[in-house]
Chain A
Amino acid sequence: KQEVTQIPAALSVPEGENLVLNCSFTDSAIYNLQWFRQDPGKGLTSLLLIQSSQREQTSGRLNASLDKSSGRSTLYIAASQPGDSATYLCAGKEGYSGGGADGLTFGKGTHLIIQP
């Protein structure tokens, strides 16, 4: 059974810093990995999706990488801003074909605070 772990659980940094959020998973048979942002009391906003055949994806100041062999994904946030404050969740889709109906397996998230 896939397990997803996110480190650190919480992070507080000054505005402008570059930072890395970590996600590890136990089963390398992962079809894709998706990073989400969740604001308090809200749903999830999809940030980046990395397919198993890809190594990384970029969107603006965000860059996510995937290393299936080591069971790790990282989310890199450049030049952090107070508006980046939120909980960041990673989630893996299992299976080699992606057609499996097990849903996404989520980590518990990293609660990020960017100090002005």
Chain B
Amino acid sequence: DAGVTQSPTHLIKTRGQHVTLRCSPISGHKSVSWYQQVLGQGPQFIFQYYEKEERGRGNFPDRFSARQFPNYSSELNVNALLLGDSALYLCASSLRPGGQPQHFGDGTRLSIL
């Protein structure tokens, strides 16, 4: 079975632009979470979606938004990009929120010039 897939793998943007990152969960998984990992740090929680509804949000500004589609895939959108948004963006899926193990994709490396 395919694991969590993310696209694109790499992306270069300039300050002020907008970006959309995509994630397809493992088949049968209905919960998707997004994390930001800055170089040298552990991942930080951005959003969790379950059954197409936002279930949780980390301490990120409103420039960050996300949604989940009927097929449980998800998009992360970031507006008005800043240099500090440069990071590896990771998507994780699980059967449902809570006590299930989370499975991560390889991430999207976003560089802001």
Contact = CB atoms under 8 A, between A and B. Distances in A.
Interface stretch (B68-76, B77-85, B99-107): B99-107
B48 interface: yes
B7 interface: no
Interface of A is mostly: strand
Interface residues of A, number: 29
A19 interface: no
A106 B99 contact: no
B98 A31 contact: yes
B104 A102 contact: no
A41 B101 CA distance: 22
B45 A34 contact: no
A112 B58 CA distance: 29
Interface string B1-24: 000101000000000000000000
A44 B43 contact: yes
B59 to A, nearest CB: 9
A66 B76 CA distance: 33
A4 B46 CA distance: 17
Contacts of A43: 4, 6, 90, 104-107
B90 A103 contact: no
Contact of B58 (A51, A91, A103, A108): A103
B17 to A, nearest CB: 23
Contact of A101 (B6, B40, B56, B106): B56
Interface of B: 4, 6, 33, 35, 40-46, 48, 55-58, 90, 92, 97-99, 101-107, 109
The 9 A-B pairs at the shortest CB distance, nearest first, are namely A101-B56, A103-B45, A106-B42, A98-B98, A101-B55, A98-B99, A44-B104, A43-B106, A43-B104
